[in-house]
Amino acid sequence: MTSVDRSERNFTKILTISAIIIIVLLLAVFLTLVIASLPSIKTFGLKFFFGKTWDASAEKFGALPFLVGTLLTSFLSLLISIPFSISISIFLGEYLKEGPIPTFLRSSIEVLAGIPSVIYGLWGLFFLMPFVRSLEVLFGTAPHGVGILTSALVLAIMIIPFSASIGREVITLVPSDLKEAAYSLGATRFEVIKNIIIPYARSGIIAGILLALGRAIGETMAVTMLIGNSNFLPTSIFSPANTMASVIANEFAEATGITASSLMYVGLVLFLVTMVVNIMGTYIIKKVSIEASKEVT
């Protein structure tokens, strides 16, 4: 065997090994979480998801407050962000595709996506918190300032770039002959958007929203700083709470024994939920772009 052959073989081996390492890495992440949370899984089982109390001193752990907290913050943030992100998608994908204003808009959205989450948290503490507090005074509830609404507002700002950029991409994929056919029949732009573009791009837009949801569920720092760190079941959108991610961030460093194991159980659930959401979103996008490329050719 010549030295070239040997290098050749080593090279392909290295490539394959590094690819396998990626798979092993992910499997190891999953298994580590499962093993680390085993004590908690054994003790609490599926009741973990329905238990309302999270009490480290009594060693009683139920994750329902965090599940509710995560659902409320992420869906509220989606609700707030969807009108904005769809508007941006339509504006950049249909109304103004080229020129200085769209370029400016696109780079602004990129900047928005690039700002670190801890800075969103800091800004939220000094800008959104007083704002929400005055709202709470207006509604006559306890003026915490921090809580689900504050976190959802900041999350909404953070996820707009994701759904907006994917939405824009799928809207530009809409075949122009379809749009032109509608225009030639006398449709207005609004009618074209409502009856042609949105239905055609629907699944892609939904995929973008799913990916944004995945991000909102897993987002940690900004939420940890703004949600008020309360382990009780939230009673309204103003109440302080904890999400799955924020309770880990708040308590993991000091946790030992079954508390740590329960937190890792929460981490395992978080991992699986974001995994499902992300795979679904990516799968839909792939399908949409394959269909679009088929139609062009």
166: Cβ contacts below 8 Å, ≥ 6 apart: 89, 204, 205, 207, 208, 211, 285
Q: Which of 1, 4, 46, 296 binds other proteins (CB under 8 A)?
A: 4
User: How far is 184 from 153, CA to CA, in rounded Å?
Assistant: 42
Contact between 142 and other proteins (CB under 8 A)?
Answer: no
Options 20-28, 71-79, 138-146, 289-297: segment touching other proteins (CB under 8 A): 20-28
# residues contacting other proteins (CB under 8 A) = 80
Residue 49: CB atoms within 10 A of its CB come to 14
Options 45-53, 166-174, 199-207, 242-250: segment touching other proteins (CB under 8 A): 242-250
* Joined tokens for residue 146: 């921090």
Closer residue to other proteins, CB minimum distance, 26 or 71: 26
Closest distance between other proteins and the C-beta of residue 65, in Å? 17
Options 60-68, 124-132, 133-141, 200-208: segment touching other proteins (CB under 8 A): 124-132
Strand, coil or helix: 94: helix
User: How far is 81 from 163, CA to CA, in rounded Å?
Assistant: 9
Within the chain, strands assigned E span 54-55, 60-61
Q: Restricting to residues 270-289, which ones interact with other proteins according to CB under 8 A?
A: 270-271, 274-275, 277-279, 282
Options 45-53, 132-140, 186-194, 233-241: segment touching other proteins (CB under 8 A): 186-194
Options 5-13, 58-66, 134-142, 169-177: segment touching other proteins (CB under 8 A): 5-13
Q: Which of 34, 38, 68, 105 binds other proteins (CB under 8 A)?
A: 105
The angle at the Cα of 230, spanning 143 to 124, to the nearest 5 degrees, equals 55
Contact between 267 and other proteins (CB under 8 A)?
Answer: yes
Closest distance between other proteins and the C-beta of residue 208, in Å? 14
Q: Restricting to residues 166-185, which ones interact with other proteins according to CB under 8 A?
A: none
Q: Which of 71, 79, 119, 137 binds other proteins (CB under 8 A)?
A: 119
Written as one string, the DSSP assignment of 265-285 is: HHHHHHHHHHHHHHHHHHHHH
Go through the chain and tell me how many residues it has: 297
**Identity at 56, one-letter amino acid code:** A
Closest distance between other proteins and the C-beta of residue 83, in Å? 6
User: How far is 164 from 294, CA to CA, in rounded Å?
Assistant: 24
Written as one string, the DSSP assignment of 11-53 is: HHHHHHHHHHHHHHHHHHHHHHHHHHHHHHHHHHGGGGGT---
Q: Restricting to residues 46-75, which ones interact with other proteins according to CB under 8 A?
A: none
Closer residue to other proteins, CB minimum distance, 72 or 171: 171
Contact between 26 and other proteins (CB under 8 A)?
Answer: yes
User: How far is 11 from 17, CA to CA, in rounded Å?
Assistant: 10
